Structure 1
């Protein structure tokens, strides 16, 4: 099995200088690259500094783009490879963003799965997460109990005609997220494996709420809580 390489820091796109604002990292889906979600950043609240990263694995020839973990078929999702991708992301984050800075995540499809996996590995590091057309990876991780105690805000949006994510993973995520996070769930009738203008509006409202509720530096991480279209061929 090919080892997951480090992220390419030179490929990261930032919306501005690293000026101490809370950082939101964008993780693209399978077969895409950092430019995909970066296109959304100009439509999101400017209270945050956005960074779009490139997944570490190249796609099998002759397919373009990058992946967080290999997919051999729509039913094939290797939890260990998802975790490997998340650990590589965390290694990059430790070098790129100061420990005292508030960090949120937005991931599309398998980028959403990796974002949640990173949050599960280091729940104290992240203030919130938005999972767009993604899922929670089955299995237990060392940070799950802490995550369930902290209950960070998680936005999960998906379409009713999304046939890319296996139904079993949708069912698992529907059960898992409310037990580990303060869930903001949205279902979009007629939407496939993509981000619609309506979902983008909901995402913007979610981010605005995060900024308004916890405006002090680091406050998003301080305390546990009480209980255009973007798409890719695969997740």
Structure 2
């Protein structure tokens, strides 16, 4: 069964879906307020889907249960990675994509988006998905399980456009980690539109404007 979600449709009978994954300790409600700031009147009908990650203990937070796509076992977030948790959440994202397809949205009209840990899951799930997606929107994140991505990625999303935004003074996911992840994917041939902003672990209005422009280009595709 797909994860519980918060949903917002900009028009009846949407023709695109944006599945937006929240960060560690947040919930599906976290990015709902971005919709009115982001949506352009020229866009087709969009269904925004904001899932709630499962509640699980998080090691770096003294084992406190919270919504998380996977465990963080070390202050070095790319160290000692929770491969089992990441793959379980990939399956959860696959179920969300499948539900959108069942509701009449083809995979090519589905954009995966995410912030922080949700952005990491956007890459983990999107690059492994077996149908071509409409785009990957990655905010303040990094590539998890980078050692296995070359073997596990699927060719269907080799050319899928990726928007990647990162704060230059991010204290949670250092921009250097994001840049290393970007360089690894670019070396594998992935197309990445990279943006850096003078901010911390957050989203600002300039980034929202850049996201709007990028999504406008995606929605213009047939």
* Range into which the TM-score falls when normalised by the shorter chain: 0.7 to 0.9
Sort the Cα spacing of 1:171 and 1:85 in 2 relative to 1 into closer, same or farther, 3 A. Answer: same
Answering whether residue 2 of structure 2 is matched by residue 14 of structure 1, we say: no
Counterpart Cα distance in 1 of 2:73 and 2:182: 24
Answering whether residue 75 of structure 2 is matched by residue 74 of structure 1, we say: yes
TM-score (norm 1): 0.76
Counterpart Cα distance in 2 of 1:202 and 1:194: 15
Query: Could you tell me how far 1:196 is from its partner in structure 2?
Result: 0.8
Match of 1:32 among 14, 26, 30: 26
Unmatched runs of 5 consecutive residues or more in structure 1: 1-5, 217-235
TM-score (norm 2): 0.81
How large is the RMSD of aligned CA atoms in angstroms? 2.6
Is this contact kept in 1: 2:72–2:82, CA < 8 A?
A: no
Task: Work out the number of aligned pairs and report it.
Answer: 205
Q: Which position in structure 1 is the counterpart of 2:111?
A: 104
Answering whether residue 165 of structure 2 is matched by residue 165 of structure 1, we say: no
Counterpart Cα distance in 1 of 2:116 and 2:15: 26
Is this contact kept in 1: 2:56–2:71, CA < 8 A?
A: no
Q: Which position in structure 1 is the counterpart of 2:98?
A: 94
Is this contact kept in 2: 1:33–1:65, CA < 8 A?
A: no
Sort the Cα spacing of 1:62 and 1:74 in 2 relative to 1 into closer, same or farther, 3 A. Answer: closer
Sort the Cα spacing of 1:22 and 1:114 in 2 relative to 1 into closer, same or farther, 3 A. Answer: same
Is this contact kept in 2: 1:31–1:66, CA < 8 A?
A: yes
Sort the Cα spacing of 1:143 and 1:58 in 2 relative to 1 into closer, same or farther, 3 A. Answer: closer
Answering whether residue 191 of structure 2 is matched by residue 182 of structure 1, we say: yes
Unmatched runs of 5 consecutive residues or more in structure 2: none
Answering whether residue 159 of structure 2 is matched by residue 151 of structure 1, we say: yes
Counterpart Cα distance in 2 of 1:123 and 1:143: 11
Query: Could you tell me how far 1:43 is from its partner in structure 2?
Result: 2.0
Q: Which has the higher contact order (CA 8 A, sep 6+)?
A: 1
Is this contact kept in 2: 1:109–1:132, CA < 8 A?
A: yes
Describe the SS at the equivalent of 1:164.
coil
Counterpart Cα distance in 1 of 2:116 and 2:128: 19
Answering whether residue 52 of structure 2 is matched by residue 54 of structure 1, we say: yes
Alignment of 1:112-131 (within 5 A): 112-131=119-138
Query: Could you tell me how far 1:113 is from its partner in structure 2?
Result: 0.6
Is this contact kept in 2: 1:157–1:187, CA < 8 A?
A: yes
